[in-house]
A = this chain, B = another copy of it.
Amino acid sequence: MAQAGTVDRILDTAEVLFAQKGFAETSLRAITSKAGVNLAAVNYHFGSKESLVQAVFERFLTPFCAALDAKLDEMEASGVPDTPENILGIMSRLVLGSHPEDPQRAAIFFRLSGQAYSQPQGHLREYLHQQYGAVFRRLQDHMQRAVPDVPPRELFWRVQFSLGATIFTLSGLESLKDISRNDFNMDVTEADITQRLLPFLVGGIKAPVPVI
């Protein structure tokens, strides 16, 4: 099992480079040379570059969704009420605390998610939605109980808006950090942003529904 080192080194390097430069802009040669493995190793272990991309996402999302499921179980068991604040709080604590040993990991997570969502063809997006749609729907159900006055169809879009605001902001955080440093003399971290995001999202989700 000496190849385990190879496979993990490829995944570790690929996830960083994909987040930094995008999928198309990251060559297998860049990955393998930085990982210190042979060029052919990717095709040998993963079959193709596209499968590598999927593998990177699986290694990220499978544990994350499992943890989210567990947290939701815990929430239901302990009788914590369904409120937007509680649900979004669970999410943000999970994301920020998922890899406490490596704080940059959360940033990578969001950059990768942003890449996947803005991928024009969207086949990765659909793959993710079908692979992890169950957890997403469970989250949406809890949110529905939190704001029963918002019609389900309206809430669906509001959750999408929330996703957008979150991923979009945290995925492009590097540029925004510079702007905020120049314009407001303010240094900012991922945790700061999520703290500011929470009331914004709650306000949006609880907003009155216009009568059309």
Contact = CB atoms under 8 A, between A and B. Distances in A.
Interface stretch (A28-36, A97-105, A151-159): A151-159
A205 B200 contact: yes
B172 A122 contact: yes
B208 A199 contact: yes
Nearest to A161: B165
A78 interface: no
Interface stretch (A1-9, A19-27, A58-66, A88-96): A19-27
A interface residue count range (under 10 / 10 to 19 / 20 to 34 / 35 or more) = 35 or more
Interface string A73-92: 00000000000000000000
A126 interface: yes
Given A157-B196, A196-B154, A197-B161, A22 B175 contact: no
Contact of A164 (B168, B203, B205): B168
Given A200-B205, A203-B204, 17 more contacts: A20-B121, A21-B121, A24-B25, A111-B120, A115-B120, A118-B171, A125-B172, A154-B196, A156-B180, A157-B193, A161-B165, A161-B197, A168-B168, A201-B204, A202-B207, A203-B206, A204-B207
